[in-house]
Chains A and B, each alone.
Chain A
Amino acid sequence: MKFFFKKKILIAILVNCFSCSSDLDFEQAQILETSPVFNISLGFFSLNSIVFADLSSASGVSMTSFVEDMEYQIFENSILRDHLVAQEYTIEIANTFNRTFEVEISFLDRSGNSTFTSVLYTIEANNSNFKEKITIDDVETTNNTVKNTTTLRLEIRVKDQSIPLRPASVGSFVFKSFTTLYLSTSITL
């Protein structure tokens, strides 16, 4: 009886120790989908009245608008081109001049054609806390042409062009930006 009892215990241990494995599917690891979001610093500048004066003297006339074509090579990266689903531009401007400005941002391809609707902001005098976001959704479909962007054109205009800025004008115009890239990747392993 005693041995029979021990035998049962041993059989129970034996059964317990049989190794097995629950259902596994290694095939499912063939596709890895991710949705990373990258924040990348973009253009920035600071304009004061001296810069305006320098630019004015270089051209020989008083200037009331300036254009900056910023090279934009992000889309030369094939990963971004292939996997970008949406993009956001975060812009902050601090205008401490006692003048109102207009800022126009255009997205241009290599031939100078527009790749996305340009945006126009009015920055009121002494507005040092202007914040705006440009959102481009549906990059894979409707807004596919945005991936051809090679230049970001920034045009800054004094709104009342009849009165140009003078070197003695007090204040500054500070522009800061970054872009947020929303990707969707599907990699076959």
Chain B
Amino acid sequence: MQKQFLIALFCLLSLGSTSQNKPILYDFAEIPQSQLLNPALNFNHKQHIGIPLLSGLHAELGMKNFTVSDFFKVTSTSFSERLVNITNRLSSRDFLIVNGQLELVNIGFKISEKSYLSIGVYQETDMTLSFPKDLVALYLYGNEINRLYSFSDLSLHFQALGVFHAGFSRKIKENINVGVRLKLYSSFFQAQTTNTGAFTTTQGEDNLLIHRFNNINLNAQFSGIKRGQEDNIEDYFLSRGLTNNLGLGLDFGFVNQITPQLKLSASVLDLGFIRYSKRVNNVTLKTNFNFEGLQGSFVPENYSKSWEYLSEEIKENTSFEENTESYISLRPIKINTALKYSFGKYRSRSCYDYSYKKEHANAVGVQFFSLLRPRGPQIALIGFYERMLTRNFKTKITYTLDSYRLSNIGIGASRRIGKVNIYGTVGNLIQLRDLSKSNHVIAQMGINIIND
């Protein structure tokens, strides 16, 4: 009893203080929310109801190759010096990710012996900002000769949306489950930039230096808020209700119980798009010209390359456009795959039909997670060990290799008390002792009512 209390306390403290990794939640302990990661995953209960606003909380902050402490720690070095050092260290492949999900509704019920239906609503905010190393260097150091300053490094994607979903899983063979989830996206706000081109200063032909603004194309798309509404965003969003920009998406999944002990599963999530046609504002700046200096002609009033000439040349080769044309934004696609091997002695587990199902107490396996981000895929390879401590208490330990670290240890726990299911997982345990020095914080927890 004391042991269980300590373990439960450990889990609660973990939930309160830290975080949860979604790959840990994948195919873990029949938590209803794991169906959002693979719509085909087995859920052998009669029905479930998520506690509104508490059934699924998820927060993630990822900083590749830097931490909050790098910027704000108290040292004798000035903030500016530190920024210079960090800039030197980082590359344009480094990024900042902020992701948050809040589940509003999640309910599900068995519609036949072989089928389960789940529906729900959650709100998601997602931001990816790449580190524009070249432009930061241009600001900090100026223009070095023979260095290329790329504008494509400047990449921001921000999306705040609500997701209405309905998922259906079905056992099509004794050992195979398939599932699909239809999603309706309702985007409150979206901002994205697509930039190309580069600036260089190199040795010139007619003069010592030539500045080249090579096919620079800066493109920013905003949707969801009109100019002049920025000061009162909250009221603005509330007054609009569901008149947001809409989109459609699908999740697919399958589970193949290859042998009684070996299970293969995979899913593709958010295969969809959002069409932005309301409150759209697109801004495009294009320029392409070279500047080698002012050419003296020694004939008064007849400068062949004066400031006026330069100004005209810039005007001729530069265009600025602002419009409200609709555009389509693809959702970041997520892919999960897992191979799980169960072993060890059996423990009984209650099922919806009041029978008891025997299940192995241990399982090991590997998972692969990939998120297709604008600047390239964010991938994670996970090895895991699952342990059923008691009939109603499951734990899972993971070791993750991902974009942030090569030593990310996570832990998850799911506790069933009567009809109440409480779950939570913690990612990146090693860095938890000092959050400011952690470059990846990820949290998830939830409470559900499950009827067997």
Contacts and interface: CB of A to CB of B under 8 A. Distances in A.
Interface string B58-70: 0000000000110
A41 B210 contact: yes
B390 interface: no
Contacts of A154: 296
B9 A14 contact: yes
Given A17-B18, A44-B292, A178 B208 contact: yes
Nearest to B6: A10
Interface stretch (A31-39, A108-116, A158-166): A31-39
A16 to B, nearest CB: 7
B207 A70 contact: no
B392 interface: no
A165 to B, nearest CB: 13
Interface stretch (B72-80, B223-231, B326-334): B72-80
Interface string A166-189: 000000000111100101000000
B250 interface: no
B296 A55 contact: no
Contact of B79 (A31, A37, A90): A31
A18 B426 CA distance: 12
B344 interface: no
Contacts of B144: 39
Nearest to A41: B293
A22 to B, nearest CB: 5
Most buried by B among A7, A19, A36, A178: A19
Contact of A6 (B3, B80, B297): B3
Contact of B299 (A17, A58, A70): A58
B291 interface: yes
Contacts of B142: 36-39, 181, 183
A21 interface: yes
Interface in A114-163: 154
Contacts of A175: 296
A55 to B, nearest CB: 6
B209 A39 contact: yes
B184 interface: no
A33 B426 contact: no
Interface string A83-113: 0000000101000000000000000000000
Given A39-B142, A70-B294, A32 B299 contact: no
A20 B433 contact: yes
A24 B14 CA distance: 23
Contacts of A11: 6
Interface of A: 3, 6-7, 10-11, 13-14, 16-26, 28-29, 31-34, 36-47, 51, 55, 58, 66-68, 70-71, 73, 90, 92, 154, 175-178, 181, 183
A7 B6 contact: yes
Given A16-B433, A19-B17, A31-B79, A45 B298 contact: yes
B371 to A, nearest CB: 25
Interface in B402-439: 426, 429, 432-437
Given A17-B18, A32-B83, A43 B294 contact: yes
A25 B72 CA distance: 5
Contacts of B258: none
Interface string B1-42: 011001101100110011000000000000000000000000
Contacts of B145: 39
Contacts of B260: none
Contacts of A44: 206-208, 292-296
B143 interface: yes
B209 A41 contact: yes
B91 interface: no
Nearest to A46: B206
Nearest to A154: B296
A120 to B, nearest CB: 18
Contacts of B83: 32
Contacts of B13: 14, 17-18
B207 A176 contact: yes
A71 B307 contact: yes
A4 B141 CA distance: 60
Interface in B265-311: 291-299, 303, 306-307
B68 to A, nearest CB: 7
Contact of A24 (B201, B298, B436): B436
B294 A20 contact: no
A36 B298 contact: no
B211 interface: yes
B71 A73 contact: no
Nearest to A69: B300
Contacts of A19: 17-18, 432-433, 435
A91 B3 CA distance: 81
Given A44-B292, A70-B296, 17 more contacts: A11-B6, A13-B10, A17-B17, A17-B18, A21-B434, A22-B73, A28-B79, A33-B80, A38-B142, A42-B207, A42-B294, A44-B206, A58-B299, A71-B303, A175-B296, A176-B293, A178-B209
